[in-house]
Amino acid sequence: MRNMAVIKISDKKLIDDLQAKLILRLGRKISQQETLDLCLKNALKNFDELIALASNEPTLTPENAEEIIALFEEDDGAPYDLSADFPNRDDQEIYSL
């Protein structure tokens, strides 16, 4: 016997729409439980994508890091104004360190 749990979904229409698409594509009835099971299996296989989706902060990948380093190296030697004022508070905090 499988463990079952009652869960609350913030937007039930999402699972209804996904279930309907699966039924049309598979040509057979699929339950919401089976739909969720498939989603969880897929999430585990694509965990990094799930983290990126769930995260409010951008994910630093090796490709992103290489791009940032390349841009930094292009600007090497550019003058930096320590008294610069930035309109964005976050930028102001970062560049004032």
Q: Using the predicted structure, report yes or no on whether residue 1 has a pLDDT greater than 60.
A: no
The larger pLDDT score, comparing residue 94 to residue 7, is at 7
**Confidence band, pLDDT 50/70/90 cuts, at residue 82:** low
> pTM for the full model?
0.52
27: left (phi over 0), alpha (psi -120 to 50) or beta: left
Task: Write down the domain spans for the chain.
Answer: 12-73
| pLDDT confidence of residue 22 | 96
AA letter at 23: I
Place of tokens 């609350």: 8
